[in-house]
């Protein structure tokens, strides 16, 4: 049975779904960030699979950019988590509500 | 055939480890599962003839980002999990429900897009003067996508400065 | 003659100097010198002006000083007129005579006062001269004024000065009350005068004396109907009644004796009170055209003369006697004008000014000598102590009694003669009055200067003068306690010299008006009547001739008879006084006891003051209280009701505002708040909730997209 881009797409969708669920369900903000990384990886898989299918490397170029952005996001996001933890002694996202009404 | 076996094996590993990432009680476990997921994704890239990306995936994700996460998890040394007071079952029901909806939606989109792509997808083969995945990618990055590439480096620099500013106790 | 405006202005300057600077800075001699000098200047100017007037062909001169009120359109009977009032002075025979009287007697009284008021503290002394000068300023303005309005300025001004001078010792309640009384009673008269002036302007469209007289002379004599001229004259006469103290407004004059004696002499005998007579004389043409009012004038004058004379019979206060005598003599003058003898009235005005000023100043001298004692019962035999005063006063008394050869004889006789022509009844009244006048004047002379001394003892011992009344009086008058009275004494030269001058005047002033019957013998006519005549007639009218004709009708025999009769009556009065008060003083007391009722009525001045008190004053007070009650209950009630209504309305509005308007606003706010509560529930601040919402949004969009695509 040949593996088509559709398979990759399904895999990507499942991985993305898992990421989304992780973002929405977990309270630990570090794990939420990890779930975001999962979602980004799902996107990357999709991009690479289709790039291979259309024999065009532009998709891979985008993956490079996505990885770069992910790295930047992780660095800044984790910096924010550290700063927040220092102030509030917690990483529970429910307690990050200072911007509420 | 081998490709099929590899794909499914990797797919199962990826999805299983990803589920582990989002469900593990201990954050360290999550990080470990995340590393494994990234490695599996890298393997998938190899299958997809994207060797450069596979290397990048391992270097940047598994090597850089995950170490970063590990550090943070270690620094944020929680006595107890933030989710201790929550009802795990309720959460899982909520998560599964959401997951079902999400999958349904994505499935819809996928079906739709494949219905369309049959007719619309063409393969504009880009003429490339070089051979091999890494070389071609390098060519593209330093020709057509030079400015985004440089901007990405600037972005990384900015992120680095920002991360240092945020994480440092007192400037 | 162009400088006649200086005549009133000079005393005005003196008053301003003394009033503005003097009270603070001037010493007594300086203040007196300024006052006397300004009056002297006014007298000299008056004499010059009078001399020029005598020499002038046309005996009327008007000097317009400045425009006062520019022409104002005002309604008159002939349509719109221009009300215009210049500051104009008119010198004609009548005002010429008046300025001589006012400035002459005024000057003498200023001299007299400088000595008489010497016991006053410096401030009061200067204030006195300021008022006195101010009075002369207004009085001269009154007599020189060329229009009713200028005259009215003087008219009110002298009223003011009268008030100020009556109440000069304002810390004495009786003096302050007397001043107030004079002022209030004069207001009644002035009200009539002002109404008269209004009516004059409305009728003639001018307020100039001469123009009014000319216009009036063209109108028919209102002998049958009570027309507009009669109304004008009646209103003017009301003013004259107030100013000249006639029935029923005479009550203020006796009380006015609370003022210093020179004031009584100048204002309440010689000048101001004669302003009414002067005003009637000034408007002789008007009055001649209103015979009914003339009758009223004559009757009022005659009755006043008699009534005041009867009251004067029994008064014991020396100044009260003279005050009632003044009222009586003013009645005489009105009697004269009332019967058409304006010249006689003015003549009597002049002679009266001399002898009454003399008598007042003499009484002042006596009062001064007796240390402010005014009760004649406490005097007696004063001729021993003050011969000059006695002689001069005796001359004055002879003059007023009408003894032949002295001034009063001529003027009174002329009045009597003219009255006899007009009405024998009034003549009878006048003759009786003349007899009474002679009686009470000589009663005064005899009680004061003859008989035994009945006053307090004097000398070094304090008991001699410890009489409560006059010790208090002395204190009231501001005399220092250290001043020791050394018994009755002749007054200083400054006081006696004016007395002597006035005595000469009282003796000889009558010779300017020798009655025709005597004049025919000695070859001189009645100078003053001919002199004054131009003032009483319109230039074009020959009305005065009627009066002349009337006199001419009187035969010489009748006139002689009348004259002899009045002299006889006067002689009888004098003899009776001599009999009762010198030869048999007890007889007077017995008489008073036998006629106790009549005596009491007279002593109490017919209870007129009491009657006024219980009617006019009580009525005024009662109506004022009633009005006050109306004001408090009705007007204030209405105001308070309006206030209450406003408050009630505002309360309603407040309730509306609070519950309806605010309610709507609050309802809107409440709806927003409650609505926001629902929406606020969504704003948890939890990132994941937002993320879920975002996700569902994406789902919705994607689903919609897919549905559309698949359907399409």
**Contact call for residues C211 and C170 (beta carbons, < 8 A):** no
Q: Which of A54-58, C25-29, C101-105, C599-603 has the highest mean pLDDT?
A: C101-105
Q: Quick check: B105 and C702 CB within 8 A?
A: yes
Among C692, C695, C702, select the one facing B109 at the smallest CB separation: C702
A4 touches B at CB < 8 Å: no
pLDDT in tens, B26-71: 888 889 999 999 999 999 999 888 888 999 899 988 888 888 888 8
Average pLDDT of the residues of chain C: 83
**Contact call for residues A66 and A43 (beta carbons, < 8 A):** yes
Minimal CA–CA distance to C448: which of C406, C491, C408, C389?
Answer: C389
Lookup: tokens for B164: 């240092």
Minimal CA–CA distance to A22: which of C696, B23, C698?
Answer: B23
Chain C residues whose C-beta is within 8 A of a chain A C-beta are: 680, 683-688, 691-692, 695
Domain spanning A5-87, CATH architecture: Orthogonal Bundle (1.10)
- State the distance between the two ends of chain B, measured CA to CA, in whole angstroms: 58
The answer on pLDDT for C420 being more than 50 is yes
Residue B88 domain flag: no
Dihedral (Cα; C119, C122, C124, C128), 10-degree rounding: 90
Q: Characterize C256-281 residue by residue with b for buried, 16 or more Cβ atoms within 10 angstroms of its Cβ, and e for exposed.
A: bbbbbbbbbbbbbbbbbbbbbbbbbb
Residue C552 CB partners (closer than 8 Å, separation 6+): none
Which H helix or E strand runs over C79? Answer: strand C79-91
The predicted model scores a pTM of 0.64
**Contact call for residues C323 and C253 (beta carbons, < 8 A):** yes
Among B22, B106, B156, select the one facing A71 at the smallest CB separation: B156
Looking at the structure, do residues B18 and B70 belong to the same domain, yes or no? yes
**With contacts defined as CB-CB under 8 Å, which chain B residues touch A68?**
152-153, 155-156
B7 touches C at CB < 8 Å: no
Q: What is the DSSP string of C166-231?
A: HTSSTTSHHHHHHHHHHHHHHHHHHHHHHHHHHHHHHHHS--BHHHHHHHHHTSPP-SSS--HHHH
Q: Provide mean pLDDT across the span C559-577.
A: 85
More confident residue, C231 or C473: C231
CA distance B120 to B126: 18
CA distance B162 to B152: 15
Backbone angles phi, psi at A10, to 5 degrees: -60, -45
Q: Which residue is closest to C705 within chain B, CA to CA?
A: B109
Q: Provide mean pLDDT across the span B137-160.
A: 89
Q: Which residue is closest to B116 within chain C, CA to CA?
A: C709
Q: Quick check: B112 and C706 CB within 8 A?
A: yes
pLDDT tier for residue C649 given thresholds of 50, 70 and 90: very high
pLDDT tier for residue C630 given thresholds of 50, 70 and 90: confident
**Contact call for residues C364 and C408 (beta carbons, < 8 A):** no
Peptide bond connecting C248 to the previous residue in cis, omega within 30 degrees of 0 = yes
Among A17, A74, A93, select the one facing B68 at the smallest CB separation: A74
Residue of A39, A90, A94, A98 to mutate for C, most C C-beta atoms under 10 A:
A94
Q: Which residue is closest to C685 within chain A, CA to CA?
A: A100
Residue B124 domain flag: no
pLDDT in tens, B101-124: 888 888 888 777 777 655 445 555
Looking at the structure, do residues B69 and B113 belong to the same domain, yes or no? no
Least Cα separation, residue A28 to chain B (angstroms): 6
DSSP C460: S
The answer on pLDDT for B89 being more than 80 is no
- For residue B85, the model assigns a pLDDT of 60
Lowest mean pLDDT among A51-60, B87-96, C233-242: B87-96
CA distance C433 to C330: 12
- For residue B122, the model assigns a pLDDT of 54
pLDDT tier for residue B18 given thresholds of 50, 70 and 90: very high
**With contacts defined as CB-CB under 8 Å, which chain C residues touch B108?**
702-703, 706
CA distance C639 to C498: 63
What is chain B's percent helix, strand, coil content, to nearest 5? 80, 0, 20
Looking at the structure, do residues B112 and B62 belong to the same domain, yes or no? no
**Angle between the C342-369 and C424-449 helix axes, to the nearest 10 degrees?**
20
pLDDT in tens, C186-206: 888 899 999 999 889 888 888
CATH code for position B56? 1.20.120.1200
For CA atoms C243, C249, C255, C261, give the dihedral sign: positive
* Boundaries of every domain in chain A: 5-87
A96 touches C at CB < 8 Å: yes
B108 touches C at CB < 8 Å: yes
Q: Provide mean pLDDT across the span C305-327.
A: 89
CA distance B48 to A11: 14
Q: Provide mean pLDDT across the span C389-408.
A: 87
**Angle between the C93-116 and C6-16 helix axes, to the nearest 10 degrees?**
20
Average pLDDT of the residues of chain B: 82
Cα separation values, C695 from A17, A95, C702, Å: 11, 21, 10
Q: Provide mean pLDDT across the span C305-323.
A: 89
Alpha helices (H) along C477-584? 493-508, 516-522, 527-536, 544-553, 556-578
Q: Which residue is closest to B105 within chain C, CA to CA?
A: C699
- Any bridge partners for residue C145, and if so which? C89
Share of chain B above pLDDT 70, in %: 81
User: How many Cβ atoms are within 10 Å of C163's Cβ, its own excluded?
Assistant: 23
Residue B84 domain flag: no
pLDDT in tens, C236-266: 999 999 898 888 888 888 888 888 889 888 8
The answer on pLDDT for C470 being more than 60 is no
Question: What SS3 class is residue C518?
Answer: helix
Residue B149 domain flag: yes
- For residue C712, the model assigns a pLDDT of 67
User: How many Cβ atoms are within 10 Å of C649's Cβ, its own excluded?
Assistant: 10
B50 touches A at CB < 8 Å: yes
Total domain count for chain B? 2
- For residue C471, the model assigns a pLDDT of 43
DSSP C516: H
The answer on pLDDT for C71 being more than 90 is no
Looking at the structure, do residues B8 and B66 belong to the same domain, yes or no? yes
Residue of B108, B110, B111, B115 to mutate for C, most C C-beta atoms under 10 A:
B108
Residue B37 domain flag: yes
Range of the domain at B112: 107-118+130-171
B62 touches A at CB < 8 Å: no
- Region class of B148: left (phi > 0), else alpha (psi between -120 and 50), else beta: alpha
């Amino acid at each position: 049975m040949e593996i088509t881009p559709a398979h990759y797409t399904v895999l990507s969708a499942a991985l993305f779904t898992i990421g989304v669920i992780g973002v929405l369900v977990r309270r630990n903000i570090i794990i939420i960030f990890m779930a975001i990384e999962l979602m980004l990886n799902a996107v990357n898989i999709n991009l690479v699979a289709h790039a291979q299918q259309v024999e065009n490397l532009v998709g891979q170029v985008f993956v490079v950019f996505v990885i770069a952005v992910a790295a930047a996001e992780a660095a800044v996001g984790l910096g924010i988590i550290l700063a927040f933890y220092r102030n509030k002694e917690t990483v529970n996202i429910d307690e990050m509500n200072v911007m509420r009404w | 055939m081998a490709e099929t076996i590899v794909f499914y094996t990797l797919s199962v590993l990826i999805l299983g480890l990803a589920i582990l990432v989002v469900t593990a009680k201990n954050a360290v476990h999550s990080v470990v599962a995340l590393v494994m997921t990234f490695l599996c994704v890298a393997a998938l890239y190899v299958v997809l003839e994207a060797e450069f990306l596979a290397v990048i995936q391992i270097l940047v994700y598994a090597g850089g980002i995950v170490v970063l996460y590990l550090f943070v998890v270690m620094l944020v040394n929680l006595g107890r999990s933030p989710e201790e007071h929550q009802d795990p079952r309720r959460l899982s029901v909520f998560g599964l429900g959401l997951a079902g909806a999400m999958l349904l939606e994505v499935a819809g989109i996928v079906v739709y897009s494949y219905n369309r792509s049959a007719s619309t997808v063409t393969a504009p083969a880009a003429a490339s003067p070089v051979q091999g995945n890494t070389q071609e990618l390098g060519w593209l990055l330093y020709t057509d996508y030079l400015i985004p590439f440089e901007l990405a480096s600037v972005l990384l620099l900015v992120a680095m400065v920002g991360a240092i500013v945020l994480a440092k106790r007192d400037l | 003659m162009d400088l006649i405006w200086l005549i009133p202005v000079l005393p005005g300057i003196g008053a301003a100097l003394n009033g503005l600077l003097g009270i603070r800075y001037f010493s007594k001699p300086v203040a007196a010198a300024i006052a006397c000098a300004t009056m002297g200047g006014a007298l000299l100017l008056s004499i010059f002006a009078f001399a020029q007037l005598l020499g002038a062909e046309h005996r009327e001169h008007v000097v317009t000083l400045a425009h006062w009120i520019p022409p104002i359109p005002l309604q008159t009977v002939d349509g719109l007129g221009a009300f215009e009032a210049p500051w104009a002075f008119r010198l004609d025979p009548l005002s010429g005579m008046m300025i001589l009287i006012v400035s002459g007697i005024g000057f003498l009284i200023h001299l007299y006062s400088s000595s008489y008021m010497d016991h006053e503290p410096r401030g009061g002394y200067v204030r006195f001269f300021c008022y006195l000068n101010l009075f002369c300023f207004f009085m001269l303005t009154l007599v020189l004024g060329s229009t009713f309005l200028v005259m009215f300025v003087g008219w009110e001004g002298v009223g003011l000065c009268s008030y100020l001078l009556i109440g000069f010792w304002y810390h004495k309640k009786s003096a302050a009350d007397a001043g107030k009384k004079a002022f209030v009673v004069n207001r009644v008269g002035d009200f009539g005068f002002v109404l008269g002036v209004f009516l004059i302007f409305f009728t003639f469209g001018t307020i100039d004396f001469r123009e009014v007289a000319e216009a009036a002379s063209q109108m028919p004599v209102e002998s049958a109907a009570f027309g507009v001229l009669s109304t004008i004259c009646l209103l003017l006469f009301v003013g004259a009644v107030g100013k000249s103290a006639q029935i029923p407004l005479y009550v203020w004059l006796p009380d006015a004796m609370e003022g210093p004696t020179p004031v009584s002499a100048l204002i309440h005998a010689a000048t101001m009170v004669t302003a009414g007579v002067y005003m009637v004389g000034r408007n002789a043409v008007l009055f001649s055209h209103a015979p009914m009012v003339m009758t009223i004038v004559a009757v009022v004058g005659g009755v006043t003369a008699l009534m005041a004379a009867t009251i004067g019979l029994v008064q014991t206060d020396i100044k009260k006697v003279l005050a009632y005598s003044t009222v009586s003599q003013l009645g005489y003058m009105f009697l004269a004008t009332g019967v058409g003898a304006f010249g006689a009235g003015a003549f009597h005005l002049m002679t009266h000014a001399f002898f009454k000023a003399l008598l007042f100043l003499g009484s002042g001298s006596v009062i001064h000598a007796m240390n402010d004692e005014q009760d004649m019962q406490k005097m007696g035999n004063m001729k021993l102590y003050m011969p000059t005063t006695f002689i001069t006063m005796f001359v004055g008394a002879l003059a007023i009694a009408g003894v032949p050869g002295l001034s009063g004889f001529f003027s009174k006789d002329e009045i009597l003669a003219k009255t006899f022509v007009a009405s024998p009844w009034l003549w009878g009244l006048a003759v009786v009055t003349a007899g009474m006048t002679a009686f009470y004047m000589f009663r005064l002379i005899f009680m004061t200067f003859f008989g035994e001394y009945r006053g307090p003892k004097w000398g070094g011992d304090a008991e001699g003068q410890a009489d409560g009344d006059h010790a208090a009086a002395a204190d009231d008058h501001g005399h220092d306690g250290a001043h020791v009275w050394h018994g009755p004494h002749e007054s200083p030269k400054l006081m006696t010299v004016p007395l002597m001058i006035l005595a000469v005047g009282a003796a000889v002033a009558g010779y300017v008006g020798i009655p025709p019957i005597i004049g025919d013998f000695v070859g001189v006519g009645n100078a003053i009547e001919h002199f004054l005549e131009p003032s009483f007639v319109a230039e074009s009218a020959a009305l005065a001739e009627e009066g002349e004709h009337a006199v001419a009708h009187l035969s010489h025999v009748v006139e002689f008879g009348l004259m002899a009769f009045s002299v006889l009556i006067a002689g009888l009065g004098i003899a009776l006084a001599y009999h009762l008060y010198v030869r048999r003083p007890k007889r007077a007391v017995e008489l008073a006891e036998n006629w106790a009722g009549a005596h009491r009525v007279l002593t109490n001045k017919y209870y007129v003051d009491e009657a006024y008190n219980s009617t006019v004053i009580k009525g005024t007070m009662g109506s004022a209280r009633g009005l006050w009650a109306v004001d408090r209950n009705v007007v204030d009630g209405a105001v308070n009701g309006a206030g209450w209504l406003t408050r009630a309305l505002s309360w309603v509005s407040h309730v509306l505002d609070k519950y309806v308007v605010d309610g709507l606003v609050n309802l809107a706010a409440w709806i927003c708040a409650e609505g926001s509560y629902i929406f606020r529930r969504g704003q948890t601040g939890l990132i994941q909730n937002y993320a879920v919402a975002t996700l569902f949004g994406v789902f919705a969009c994607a689903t919609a997209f897919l549905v559309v695509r698949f359907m399409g």
